[in-house]
C-alpha cells in the first residue's frame, strides 16, 4: 500500500460490475491500485466494461444465483499476487412490482433470490479467502427500501432488508479474522436500471420531493462510499448499513402507484381482489 495507491496489488471482486454502480465502483477501486475482477450475467456488457477499465482488469461471466458460477468468479478474483482483499456484492435488482395481494409468486421469489441468495453466496465463497489473507472488506449494495416502506416494491424491500441482516451477522462472525462487512443503502441513482423512473414524471417527482437535497444521486457518488468502506480509511467500521440518498430516508418512500394502478387497478392497491 502507498499513499498514492492505497489499494495497490489488492485483489477485488465486484459482482454486477458491468454497468451502473458496479462499474463505477470497479473504476474507483482500480484507480487506487486494486486488481479488479468484474462479474455479471452479460458477457457483452462485461466486455464493454473491460474496454473502459483498461489493462489489469478481468471479467468472469457469472449469475450470482448459481453457486458454482459464484465460486468460479471468486476463485478468478483471488488468483492475484496480493490475494483477494475486497469484495463488492453489487448484483441485484427486482423482477417484481405490484401489490402484495396480486403478486406473482415466482417473480417475488426471483427478487429474493438475486439479492439475498446472491449476496449470501458471494460472502460464503469470498470470506474464507479474506480470512486466510489476514483481513479484508466486503461491501454489499442494499437500498433505502430496506429501511423505509416502498409500497408495491415489497419483494425488493424485503430482499434488501435481508441483505442488511446478512451483513450484520457476517460482520459479527468474521470480525475475529479482521474481515469487515458493511452495506451501502443508495436512494434513487441515475442508472440504466431505473430509466423507467426518470421517464415517468409523477414517480420521479415523488422521489425528488421527498429528498432534501432535491436531486438523484450519481453512480460515482455511491462508488466513492463503497471505495471508502473497502479501504484502510474505514478500518474500524463493520456491521453497518449506511444510507447515501440525499436525505430521502429522513422522509417517506416514493409513490409507485402510477406504475401499479394501470396494471392491477385501484382496488388491488388497497388489497381488494
Alpha-carbon distances, residue 220 vs 60, 77, 106, 238 (angstroms): 23, 23, 33, 22
- 3, exposed or middle or buried, with CB in 10 Å at 0-12, 13-18, 19+? exposed
State the DSSP H helix or E strand holding residue 196, giving kind and residue range, or none if neither. Answer: helix 195-198
Residue 156 annotated in active site? yes
> Is 118:161 a contact under the CB 8 Å cutoff?
no
Closest by CA position to 159, among listed 116, 123, 124, 119: 116
Which residue from 80, 100, 1, 94 is spatially nearest to 35, judged by alpha carbons?
Answer: 80
Catalytic residue among 156, 207, 256, 264: 156
| Residues designated catalytic | 156
Amino acid at each position: 500500500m502507498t499513499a498514492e495507491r492505497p489499494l495497490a496489488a489488492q485483489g477485488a471482486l465486484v459482482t454486477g460490475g458491468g454497468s451502473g454502480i458496479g462499474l463505477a465502483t470497479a473504476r474507483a477501486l482500480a484507480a487506487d491500485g486494486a486488481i479488479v475482477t468484474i462479474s455479471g450475467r452479460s458477457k457483452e456488457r462485461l466486455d464493454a466494461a473491460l474496454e473502459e477499465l483498461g489493462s489489469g482488469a478481468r471479467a468472469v461471466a457469472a449469475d450470482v444465483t448459481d453457486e458454482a458460477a459464484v465460486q468460479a468468479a471468486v476463485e478468478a478474483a483471488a488468483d492475484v499476487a496480493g490475494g483477494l482483499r475486497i469484495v463488492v456484492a453489487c448484483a441485484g435488482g427486482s423482477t417484481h412490482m405490484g401489490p402484495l395481494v396480486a403478486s406473482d409468486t415466482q417473480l417475488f421469489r426471483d427478487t429474493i433470490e438475486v439479492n439475498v441468495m446472491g449476496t449470501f453466496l458471494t460472502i460464503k465463497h469470498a470470506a474464507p479467502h479474506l480470512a486466510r489473507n489476514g483481513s479484508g472488506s466486503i461491501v454489499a449494495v442494499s437500498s433505502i427500501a430496506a429501511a423505509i416502506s416502498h409500497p408495491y416494491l415489497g419483494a425488493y424491500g424485503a430482499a434488501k432488508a435481508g441483505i442488511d441482516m446478512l451483513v450484520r451477522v457476517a460482520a459479527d462472525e468474521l470480525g475475529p479474522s479482521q474481515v469487515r462487512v458493511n452495506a451501502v443503502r443508495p436512494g434513487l441513482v441515475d442508472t440504466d436500471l431505473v430509466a423507467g423512473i426518470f421517464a415517468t414524471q409523477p414517480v420521479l417527482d415523488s422521489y425528488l420531493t421527498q429528498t432534501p437535497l432535491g436531486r438523484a444521486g450519481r453512480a460515482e457518488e455511491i462508488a466513492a462510499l463503497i471505495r471508502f468502506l473497502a479501504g484502510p480509511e474505514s478500518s474500524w467500521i463493520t456491521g453497518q448499513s449506511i444510507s447515501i440518498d440525499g436525505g430521502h430516508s429522513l422522509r417517506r418512500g416514493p409513490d409507485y402507484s402510477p406504475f401499479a394502478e394501470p396494471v392491477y387497478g385501484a382496488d388491488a392497491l388497497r388489497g381488494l381482489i
